[in-house]
Amino acid sequence: MRRPVVEKLQQFVEKQPMSLHVPGHKNGYFGTLPKALRDSLPYDVTELTGLDDLHAAEGVIAEAQGLLANFYGASSSYFLVNGSTVGNLAMMLAATSPGDHVLVQRNAHKSVFHALELAHVTPIFITPEWDHRTETAAHVTLTGIQQAFAQFPTIRAVALTTPTYFGVASDLVEIVEFCHQQQVPVLVDEAHGAHFQGSDYFPLSALESGADVVVQSAHKSLPAMTMGSYMHYNSELVSQNRLEHALRMLQSSSPSYPIMASLDDARAYLASFTARDYHHLMDKRSLFLDSLQGLPGLDVVEVDDPLKLLVRIGQHAGHQVRDALEKQGVYVELAHGQHVLWMLPLLKYGEDYRFAELRSRVKRACEALKSVRPQALPVVTAVTANQLTQLEVPLEVVERSKGEWISYTKAIGRTAKGAIIPYPPGIPLLVPGERFTVKTLVQLEECLMGKAAFQGEHRLAERQVYVLEETKK
């Protein structure tokens, strides 16, 4: 299978060229990095003759992006070198104008909220349905979207996320059809679903469902390097010129060739994924799951995405399970409530993944946990679906207003100036302009008890949050 960027880079490196150009490591000649890392630096080149330019692609990068679009069934596809983060920013900037109403699934990644801020739009948040298997917020429904349009006929774009971080996928076909009838584009953050295109057995992808612009973190489920993502465009409602302009503004003018090569390689890997590969993957996965049966206290929740497993060990909190596994040298994607999330590799026929070794380590962790007292966690609060909310205070007002630090126990009724983002998964508990409610406080307590890490603007170690100063009456 052709891999234009990989092939061209390889030819270039084999010529043992001498560098009188950036980057300063001169093909790895200078620097004190560990040898294995330094050895890869000859591939870390720049826009040299024959290597094309991501921002004005007409050679090997254009060819590779063409193969990508062809495989995913998009009219155009783009390599992203700053993750799905930059894709979420670019598609929002391209599809909206300042002041527009945008309908946004509330359990979106923080990059979607940053996109709303950058685009100066007015978000209308919609709560998704609760998924009882995983005890997480999942997807919005067609009814919810229709109600939102009935209440806000001025919605100009819809931003959805599927699958969720926890591998719950949704069918977008009817939602996209409905939005298109309203002449409104659907932007989909499919960061966790780049592999769905690889097999009819995987859930239906957002592009197959007719979405206008889709971003995918190739680095999450495909064998691509961190930060390597794809953006696909298939729209009569979003301007392609604006999308490309946004990407030119937001991405580095020196995009990484190793990342682009890995994106080219990952596309070829997925495009050659066959039904035989799928059955092999599922056989290996079943054998692994069978081998885990009988390990003391271990329970597995399977979700729509076969690469994700939610694992629970006895009554232990997720962070206790994570710590026990880490002591055995096993690192999980995240700990959440009572679970840890495992991500399996997209195996192909003939490939294996040290499952026997993994099982032995998991067994040792289960045994070690027997002598650890389980930390009791509160029952997780389910969200109520189809609730529409707006920011209490518009973002531009939040930006120019003064803030103050207060104890979070006194924050109910106050408006957030700083975001509180449990990370991972990176879905904000509260964004600037939203009001602290009793529910926010309960969810925050749940996260703190679950030993979540946080991003955003907060001092949670001192139990403080950043809110708008109260105006004196």
Ligand X SMILES: Cc1ncc(COP(=O)(O)O)c(C=O)c1O
* Chain residues in the site for ligand X (CB under 6 A): 83-85, 109, 111, 161, 165, 189, 191, 217, 229, 425-426
Q: How far is the CB of 69 from ligand X (least distance, A)?
A: 19
Nearest to ligand X of 64, 231 (CB atom): 231
Q: How far is the CB of 106 from ligand X (least distance, A)?
A: 13
Q: How far is the CB of 86 from ligand X (least distance, A)?
A: 7
Nearest to ligand X of 110, 319 (CB atom): 110
Q: How far is the CB of 87 from ligand X (least distance, A)?
A: 8
Q: How far is the CB of 51 from ligand X (least distance, A)?
A: 24
Nearest to ligand X of 84, 415 (CB atom): 84
Closest CB to ligand X: residue number: 83
Nearest to ligand X of 165, 257 (CB atom): 165
Q: How far is the CB of 278 from ligand X (least distance, A)?
A: 24
Contacts of 159 (CB under 8 A, 6+ apart): 92, 102, 103, 104, 105, 108, 112, 115, 187, 188, 189
Rounded-to-integer distance, Cα 279 and Cα 285, Å: 10
Nearest to ligand X of 65, 164 (CB atom): 164
Nearest to ligand X of 46, 455 (CB atom): 455
Q: Which has the closest alpha carbon to 5: 154, 228, 220, 167? A: 228
